[in-house]
Structure 1
Amino acid sequence: MQIDLEGRPRFPPAADTAITALRVETRKVPIPPHRMSPLKQHWPKIYPPLVEHLKLQVRMNVKARAVELRNSKATTDPGALQKGEDFVRAFSLGFDVDDAIALLRLDDLYIETFEIKDVKTLQGDHLGRAIGRIAGKDGKTKFAIENASRTRVVLADQKIHILGGFKNIHIAREAIVSLILGAPPGKVYGNLRTVASRMKERF
């Protein structure tokens, strides 16, 4: 630093602050053992959206049971890595590839996870019956909740994962909570029909 004739400090010109070097970030998404076979089976459908759409580098690490994602010079979207991670995580939780791909295409989709014990502590047969009430015969109740609330629901033992928009998740969660608390499916269907018709009026 130099001082000019008027006593003011003179600083050397600032270096070019444009960041030329790319900051390479890596994300590792662990895959549960029961989802490894579906991952291998659906891999030809999983990696193209990540590589072609998000321009990420991807590899399946079978030894570590994980999918590794990395950005590159070709990656243009700053949120690509997060979107890719959300997509792979959705698949690892049990959602179909097509449903998980929606997370890449739409910005206002989320996944909410909660456990049956968060709502009510149930054990043994009571727990089994609660899961049965949510699924319904041949999965009919689950499909009814999905269709009315425009969400996707995955029942993974005691965990429930819901994929959808914020308000839609709220509707699906309310229906599932009612079933866990012992509400008869008929009553829950009725409430869902009312909510679904209200949603149609709104759009």
Structure 2
Amino acid sequence: MPAPTALVRRPEELAEAVSVPLPDQNIDDELLLDAPTSETNTLQPIAGDADTEMHIDEEGRPRFAPAKASDGPLRIESRKVPIPPHRMSPLKASWPKIYPPLVEHLKLQVRMNVKNRAVELRSSKFTTDSGALQKGEDFVKAFSLGFDVDDAIALLRLDDLYIETFEIKDVKTLQGEHLGRAIGRIAGKDGKTKFAIENASRTRVVLADSKIHILGGFKNIHIAREAIVSLILGSPPGKVYGNLRTVASRMKERF
């Protein structure tokens, strides 16, 4: 049997065989995207409106044009604040003092729905503040809880005021005469203890049966709540007065 002979090709055939791609080779792999040769360190502004144009300062930080003031809210929203039955008569009596801040200051549309026992608020095209509707709702809700109109108006003018509500049973489970005595310790004779807590902590306190509402700043609410909790747990008013006197002197030193 003759020995196998080696296959000999000419140099031209070898060159053609090398240049032909294999059957399972992906031709797309041969497509390469060349990176841009010029490197730029500065960002180019995007063509468009003048308020969206971006410029680069000397340190390479982007600088944008100031935003334009919006003409009004993006959409008209409405809120409904329910009023308890026992606060409807005070609402009707104080209505001439309630709606002017909402209409003139916050630029809201407001009406009192007597049938549904609610105050309805709605933003309009004249409303400029995005949080006006929430401020108006907090103002009306504060009045519905029992605060005076003058105290509730502070929610419209100051941003760091809050309302905290808790019940006596959240502190200690009391029933019957024990609950009545706890409420009496908080109020005091002719409201003396309640007024002392308000003046020392610079807050406003409303006693609505077993519920207690406190209006004021965050730290001030904490001071008033600690005093009320001490009275609920049975501390004598004299000891609470002493603690309030100490806290009031510390607050004066801070200011």
- The match for 1:128 among 180, 183, 187 is 180
**For residues 72 and 226 of structure 2, what CA distance do their matches in structure 1 show?**
49
**Corresponding residue for 2:150?**
98
**Corresponding residue for 1:108?**
160
**For residues 71 and 175 of structure 1, what CA distance do their matches in structure 2 show?**
40
Q: List per-residue Cα deviations over 1:154-178 (Å, max 9, x = no partner).
A: 0000100000000000000000000
Query: Which structure shows the bigger proportion of residues in helix conformation?
Result: 1
RMSD of aligned Cα (Å): 1.5
Q: Secondary structure at the match of 2:159?
A: coil
**Corresponding residue for 1:39?**
91
**Corresponding residue for 1:202?**
254
Kindly state the Cα deviation for residue 22 of structure 1 after the two structures are TM-superposed: 3.6
Q: List per-residue Cα deviations over 1:166-203 (Å, max 9, x = no partner).
A: 00000000000000000000000000000000000000
**For residues 116 and 70 of structure 1, what CA distance do their matches in structure 2 show?**
36
Kindly state the Cα deviation for residue 20 of structure 1 after the two structures are TM-superposed: 8.8
- The match for 1:74 among 126, 135, 159 is 126
User: Which consecutive segments of 4 or more residues in structure 1 shift more than 3 A?
Assistant: 18-22
**Corresponding residue for 1:7?**
none
Aligned partner letter, 2:127: T
Asked if residue 189 in structure 1 is aligned to residue 241 in structure 2, the reply is yes
Q: Secondary structure at the match of 1:27?
A: strand
Kindly state the Cα deviation for residue 120 of structure 1 after the two structures are TM-superposed: 0.2
Residue 132 to residue 24, structure 1, CA distance change in 2 (3 Å):
same
**For residues 20 and 106 of structure 1, what CA distance do their matches in structure 2 show?**
22
Aligned partner letter, 1:171: I
Asked if residue 168 in structure 1 is aligned to residue 213 in structure 2, the reply is no
- The match for 1:26 among 71, 78, 95 is 78
**For residues 56 and 71 of structure 1, what CA distance do their matches in structure 2 show?**
5
Which has the greater radius of gyration? Answer: 2
**Corresponding residue for 1:8?**
none
Percent pairwise identity: 91
**For residues 130 and 71 of structure 2, what CA distance do their matches in structure 1 show?**
14
How many residues align? The count is 187
Residue 185 to residue 53, structure 1, CA distance change in 2 (3 Å):
same
**Corresponding residue for 1:61?**
113
**For residues 22 and 42 of structure 1, what CA distance do their matches in structure 2 show?**
32
**Corresponding residue for 2:208?**
156
**Corresponding residue for 2:24?**
none
Q: Which structure 1 residue ranges, 5 or more long, are not aligned?
A: 1-13
Residue 21 to residue 198, structure 1, CA distance change in 2 (3 Å):
closer
Larger RCO: Structure 1 or Structure 2 (Cα < 8 Å, ≥ 6 residues apart)?
1
- The match for 1:178 among 227, 230, 237 is 230
**Corresponding residue for 1:48?**
100
* Conserved 8 A contact 2:188-2:194: yes
**For residues 148 and 55 of structure 1, what CA distance do their matches in structure 2 show?**
35
**For residues 185 and 72 of structure 2, what CA distance do their matches in structure 1 show?**
57
**For residues 50 and 127 of structure 1, what CA distance do their matches in structure 2 show?**
38
